[in-house]
Each structure stands twice: as structure tokens, then as C-alpha cells.
A = this chain, B = another copy of it.
């Protein structure tokens, strides 16, 4: 296959940083495309394309006024995302203690022993990228 389409669902749509910026920007007020372009410092076609994606998944609404198109964030569409993350909330509350344990084990292991391979995290893997 390949990666899923950006328009396949809300998760894919908000994966793009500029689209999140746009959503933030349009949350308070509706805005014409030109203002988004100026405020976020992006190229106009780029903004139009991002808006198209957001529109397709229902993350924004549009309204035409003369030659201008006013976009606005449809916050309601973000709820599924919020709810998915929420199911993990109770876990990170319970895990705070385990984070400490891990930190302690790590500082012990790195004193003079072998490299610590338990509980690897991003930084431990970065070496394989350079």
C-alpha cells in the first residue's frame, strides 16, 4: 500500500503542522484566505490546498462573501481526537511513579556498567539515524 490519505480521517489531517496552525488561527474567528496567508506566512496555493484537506474531513467550514472565502475551524470535528487521547489520561496519571523508577535505574546503570537497554526511548535510537 502506502501511507493513508491525509483526507482519510481527522488523525491524518492534523498530522501536518501547518494545518494545525491554521486550525488554531481559525478557532477564534472566521478569516478570509488572504489573511491566513499573511498571518502564517505561507504561500497562497499552499494554504488553499491545506484548507481543502481540512474541509474534506470537516475540520473547517467555509462561507463566501463576495470574492472572499471565509474559513473557520469546526471544533466539533476535533472531538474524536480528544476522546481517543482521553482514554489514556488515566494511564499517565498512574505512570508518573514508573517514570521515576526508570530514571533511577538508568542513572545506576550508566555509572560504570553496560549500556542500559531497558526501556529505550527516542534518544537512544537517534544514533542509528546519523
- Interface positions of A (Cβ within 8 A of B): 3-4, 6, 9, 11-12, 14-17, 20, 23-24, 27, 55-58, 61-64, 73-76, 78-79, 81-82, 84-89, 91-92, 95-96, 99, 102, 117-122, 125
Separation of A52 and B7 alpha carbons in the complex (Å): 25
Instruction: Report how many copies the assembly holds.
Output: 2
Cβ-defined contact, A120 with B82, below 8 A: no
Cβ-defined contact, B81 with A85, below 8 A: yes
Q: Which B residues are CB-close (under 8 A) to A85?
A: 78-79, 81-82, 85
Cβ-defined contact, A20 with B117, below 8 A: no
Nearest 7 pairs between A and B by C-beta? A75-B91, A82-B85, A75-B92, A15-B15, A75-B88, A61-B119, A76-B92
